A = this chain, B = another copy of it.
Amino acid sequence: MSSRQDLYPSRQQAEPAWMERQDPVVYTQDRAEAPLAPELIAQFERDGYMVIPELFCAAEVAAMSAELERLRNDPAVLASDKAIREPQSGALRSLFEIHCHGGLFARLASDARLAGLARFILGGDVYIHQSRMNLKPGFAGKEFYWHSDFETWHVEDGMPRMRALSASILLTDNDSNNGPLMLVPGSHRHYIGCVGKTPKSHYQYSLRRQEFGVPDDVSLSRMVGRYGIDTAIGPAGSVVFFDCNTLHGSNSNITPAPRNNLFFVFNHVENRLQAPFCDQPPRPAFIAQREPVPPLEVQPRTNAPDSA
């Protein structure tokens, strides 16, 4: 390990450690320039997330769902390392790097409604750090345990600062019964240093069932006791934006209704990845973009499927 500073140490101590966030949440000062109502930006800053109902219209959602179905049924896709299966059933759980092959999902990554907002919140040029589609099937969708994305991106990928956010596009209606995203509002202002050393090739199973880099029970109880739990629910086409350090997770889904989402993670160009903050090699590029890819050129909102 070099002598560079680690602002957010984790998985290095025997006891959990809390510290305060050392970075802004919203980087652009002039809220008058916001592409959304200033109240929403203030809500994002306070809670670490916001839900924008039906940001994409039904026709756009239909086009995205068709593309998702095409990918999930492509044998080459299923056989790739980018496809993560459910531990027991073997069903597709996540597919990574969905924005790199042209087509609809590539255009979506640059859409003003996502990339334009990310530019505002993160204060300048951004690129896609990670993209994926998540499928929580009906009847047998498994839970995602509580975690801060930033903790993993920092330790395992070498993301130095908190200057990234996720946009999750709901492709199916999310209600309180089908395992919606749960978030702890306000948790993004704290950083929980986790216990346990990162094991070798951790990502190969952490994407199926995370065991390291998850907060301890006491810290979780304390955080939830202080801030409570919000649920990100809404009709298909809604988008959940959340800060890289907001604690989130979801319960299982035994209802017949699947819960499919697209995820795009935007990172600021001045926050590009360094060497990981652990003694393991970096994770593969399809999980964490390490190359100096050019910033996204924000495209005016397009109305798929006409433009597809």
Who on chain B is nearest to A219 by CB?
Answer: B256
Residue from B139, B221, B225, B229 within 8 A of A177 (CB atoms): B229
* Residues of chain A in range 238-278 having any CB-CB distance to chain B below 8 Å: 249-257
Q: Which of B176, B229, B252, B257 has a CB less than 8 Å from the CB of A143?
A: B252
Chain B positions within 8 Å of A253 at CB level:
251
A286 lies within 8 A of chain B by Cβ: no
Question: How many monomers of this chain does the complex have?
Answer: 2
Which A171-200 residues have C-beta < 8 A from chain B?
176-177, 179, 182
CB distance from A209 to the nearest CB of B (A): 10
Give, as a whole number of angstroms, the nearest-CB distance from A177 to chain B: 5
Q: Are A255 and B182 in contact (CB under 8 A)?
A: yes
Q: Tell me if A120 counts as interface (CB < 8 A to partner B).
A: no
Subset of 28 A-B contacts with CB under 8 Å? A138-B217, A138-B221, A139-B217, A143-B254, A145-B254, A146-B254, A176-B177, A176-B231, A177-B182, A177-B229, A177-B231, A177-B251, A179-B251, A182-B254, A182-B255, A217-B256, A220-B256, A221-B256, A224-B255, A224-B256, A224-B257, A225-B256, A229-B255, A249-B254, A250-B254, A251-B251, A251-B253, A252-B252
Chain B: minimal CB distance from A186 (Å): 16
Least CB distance from A146 to B in Å reads 6
* Closest Cβ neighbor of A249 among chain B residues: B254
The CA-CA distance from A139 to B252 in the complex, in Å, is 12
By beta carbon, the residue of chain B nearest A146 is B254
Please provide the chain A residues from 280 to 308 with a CB less than 8 Å away from any CB of chain B in the complex. none
Q: Which of B139, B229, B251 contacts A220 (CB 8 A)?
A: B139
Closest to A177 in B: B229
Residues of B within 8 A of A257 (CB): 224
Closest to A252 in B: B252
